[in-house]
Amino acid sequence: MSESCKNYIDGHWLEATTHKTFENRNPADRHDLIGLFPVSGADDVDQAVQAAKRAFARWRLVPGPKRGEILYRVGELLRKHKEEIARGMTREMGKILKESRGDVQEGIDTALYVAGEGRRFFGQTTPSELPDKFAMSVRAPIGVCALITPWNFPMAIPTWKMFPALLCGNTVVFKPAEDTPHTAVKLAEILTEAGVPPGVVNLIHGRGEEAGAALVRHSDVRVVSFTGSAAVGREIASVCGQNLKRVSLELGGKNAQIVMEDADLNLALEGALWGAFGTTGQRCTATSRLILHRDIKKQLTEMLMARAEKIKIGDGLDESVEMGPLINRAAREKVHRYVQIGKAEGARLLIGGAIYDEGNWADGYFYRPTIFDQVIPSMRIAQEEIFGPVLSIIEVNSFEEGIDVLNATAYGLSSSIYTRDVGRAFRAMRDIEAGITYINGPTIGAEVHLPFGGVKDTGNGHREAGTTVYDIFSEWKSIYVDYSGKLQKAQIDNAE
């Protein structure tokens, strides 16, 4: 069953002024039309931004605990509709139901965590250097926030951004990826049911180069939060820099798992399989490089091949399926192109490297789990983000070499090391260049109460989730109250 959906602006569901639509289809079966969604243009974006700007004048005055209570209700409604949303998400973007349920659960966890911050939105008090003077700092909202989100976590990532932005007293214009508009509609419906006032959250569908670009460039947008590719992130940063507009970028990754000779190989195997092939490798934290100590490389490689070849591929709505499709034709073509690049570079293809179109799956965007061996760290398949089920094995001779290889990319999002040596574990925590480091765990699986983000080309230094996210969506204001009844001069040498 398909649906026809609209933008959500100022509490109303509206058609785009362009009167154009785009199709949303199931990547497991491209004959399954989920719905038609509006292709928004600059006029639609302006309408949404103006609604958010008007609503900001009221929303910023709502007490923080009250804003938190609304977000708590959002979390409870997400919990109530979890299975419905998860099944729609799997149909829309392909990942298996267990993962879709986890995606919704992240939204629930974020709602409950942020709701509690409504009564913990702490500033600081500090002694003044002068007598009869009080000094403190508080957080203040900024204004209209543009949230531009990807398709691979269509509930978790929007809520990571949106709920903290709302708690701070900001209003939002939300532009989801074209591949996952249905989940965004469900989120907007729940926000409305929970009591978020009209204009506080506005939903705009459309293409990045049209609606997204107009949103980034809009003069009344004060903050831009973007998750996506490094190339697009650079363009957004350039535009925001020219306009002195705050921007938070969470970009790509080329994450690696190191396995040392003393590791629990069964545990490392499970981590590599989940990290490389979970969500069909379509995570910014996915394990795309497996760095193996020479003493265990042959054994673990054989174990990995045997397990990866047995991964059940198919429609994620089937509870027995372990890996779903890639998101669309372009994504599958990109993955296959990188497989050809790897072979041309001299890497040895162990398994996979081909489209999966057996049985009923000829009408989906499926690809076989793919493993390369004899990969050199300088190869493109070891340096560039593929965003698919492709794993590159790199052999090293020592712990130190493993750390050097892990760090030798332009990215620095997530990392992992498997070892029983506590000294190595702590040196890895110290020396790895990444925003996230796992010890004896896979590179995927962030928790909402810790900062999320990376270094180098992975972003511009901001961190989502945890408490650090509030530094994106709020301004610090310093406040002084002088009750001395006379002029007191700070920053003047008053020493006797």
Structure tokens at 113: 């965590």
Please give the class, per CATH, of domain 3-251+459-479: alpha beta
Structure tokens at 315: 């429609």
What is the SS3 assignment for 315?
Answer: coil
Question: Measured between alpha carbons, how far is 302 from 310 in angstroms, rounded to an integer?
Answer: 13
Residue 276 host element (H or E): helix 265-277
Cβ 379 vs Cβ 390: under 8 Å: no
Q: What is the DSSP string of 171-192?
A: EEEEE--TT-HHHHHHHHHHHH
Share of the chain above pLDDT 70, in %: 98
Cβ 11 vs Cβ 192: under 8 Å: yes
- Sorted by sequence, the CB contacts under 8 Å of residue 381 that are 6+ apart come out as 338, 341, 342, 345, 347, 372, 375, 390, 392
- Answer whether residue 495 shows pLDDT above 70: no
Looking at residue 300, its pLDDT comes to: 98
Which residue from 381, 380, 361 is spatially nearest to 370, judged by alpha carbons? Answer: 381
Residue range 135-141: average pLDDT? Answer: 97
Looking at residue 493, its pLDDT comes to: 65
Residue range 91-106: average pLDDT? Answer: 98
What is the SS3 assignment for 152?
Answer: coil
Looking at residue 158, its pLDDT comes to: 98
Looking at residue 491, its pLDDT comes to: 76
Looking at residue 349, its pLDDT comes to: 98
Looking at residue 4, its pLDDT comes to: 66
Residue range 11-33: average pLDDT? Answer: 96
Q: How confident is the model at residue 358 (pLDDT cuts 50, 70, 90)?
A: confident
Question: Measured between alpha carbons, how far is 282 from 288 in angstroms, rounded to an integer?
Answer: 10
In b/e form, how buried is each residue of 436-461, taking b as 16+ CB within 10 angstroms?
Answer: bbbeebbbbbbebeebbbbebbbbbe
Q: How confident is the model at residue 2 (pLDDT cuts 50, 70, 90)?
A: low
Cβ 163 vs Cβ 110: under 8 Å: yes
Residue range 472-483: average pLDDT? Answer: 97
Cβ 206 vs Cβ 148: under 8 Å: no
Looking at residue 490, its pLDDT comes to: 82
Second-level CATH architecture of 255-439: 3-Layer(aba) Sandwich (3.40)
Please give the angle made by the CA atoms of 413, 414 and 420, to the nearest 5 degrees.
Answer: 150
Question: Measured between alpha carbons, how far is 269 from 259 in angstroms, rounded to an integer?
Answer: 9
Residue 336 host element (H or E): helix 329-345
Any alpha helices (H) in 391-491, and if so which ranges? 399-407, 422-431, 470-473
Looking at residue 234, its pLDDT comes to: 97
Q: 296-331: per-residue pLDDT in tens?
A: 999 999 999 999 999 999 999 999 999 999 999 999
- Answer whether residue 48 shows pLDDT above 60: yes
- Answer whether residue 492 shows pLDDT above 90: no
Structure tokens at 150: 């990807």
- Answer whether residue 17 shows pLDDT above 80: yes
Break the chain into its structural domains and give their ranges: 3-251+459-479, 255-439
The residues annotated as belonging to the active site are 250, 284
Computed on alpha carbons and rounded to an integer, the radius of gyration of the chain in Å comes to: 24
Q: 151-160: per-residue pLDDT in tens?
A: 999 999 999 9
- Answer whether residue 496 shows pLDDT above 60: no
Q: 163-214: per-residue pLDDT in tens?
A: 999 999 999 999 999 999 999 999 999 999 999 999 999 999 999 999 999 9
Question: Measured between alpha carbons, how far is 396 from 291 in angstroms, rounded to an integer?
Answer: 7
Structure tokens at 411: 């990215």
Residue range 256-280: average pLDDT? Answer: 98
Looking at residue 27, its pLDDT comes to: 98
Q: How far is CA 351 from CA 305, 369, 370, 389, in A?
A: 7, 7, 5, 11
